[in-house]
Chain A
Amino acid sequence: MSSWEVVIGMEVHVQPKTKSKMFCGCSIAGLNEPPNTHVCEICLGMPGVLPVPNKAAVEACIKTALALSCEIPQHTKFDRKNYMYPDLPKGYQISQYDLPMSVNGYLEVGASRVRIRRVHLEEDTGKLIHAGDKLHKASESYVDLNRAGVPLMEIVSEPDLRSADQARDYAMELRALLRAIGASEADMEKGQLRAEPNISIRRVGSQELGVKTELKNINSFRALHRAILYEVDRQQQALESGRAVVQETRGWDETEQRTFSQRSKEFAEDYRYFPEPDIPPLELDRAWIEELRRALPELPSVRRARLLDQLPAAQVAVIGADRDLADLYETAVAKGAPALATANWIVNEVAPTGKLMSGEYLAELIDLLQQGAVTRDQAREVHLESVETGRTPAEIVAEHGYSQVSDPSELRVLAEAVIDANPKAAADYRSGKKQAMQALMADLRKRAPQANPKVANELLLKLLA
Chain B
Amino acid sequence: MLNIAALSGKIQEAFGALDRHHLNGGQRLAVKYFAVAMILFLAQLLFGLLAAIQFVWPGFLFDLVDFSVNRMVHINAMVVWMLYGFIGSVYWFLEEESGTEIVGLKWGEIAFYVLTGAVVIVVLVYLLIQTGPGNDATRWLVNEGREYIEAPRWADIGIVTVMLVFFYNVAGTFAKGRWSGISGVLTLDLVALAGLYMAGMFYSTNVTVDQYWWWWVIHLWVEATWEVLVGCIMAWSLMKLIGARRRIVQTWLYIEVALMFGSGILGLGHHYFWIGTPDYWFTIGGFFSALEPVPLVAMVVHSIYDAGVHRFRSTNHPALGWIIAHTFGNFLGAGVWGFMHTLPQINLYTHGTQWSASHGHLSFFGAYATINIAFFYLAAQRWRGNVWMGGDLKDNGWKWKWSMILLNLGVMGMTVALLIAGYEQSFIERAVEGSTWGGYFAAQNQPWFVQAMLWRLVFGVVTLAGALLLTWDLLTIGAGETRLALVLEPEEELAAEPTVAVAK
Q: Do A and B bind each other?
A: no
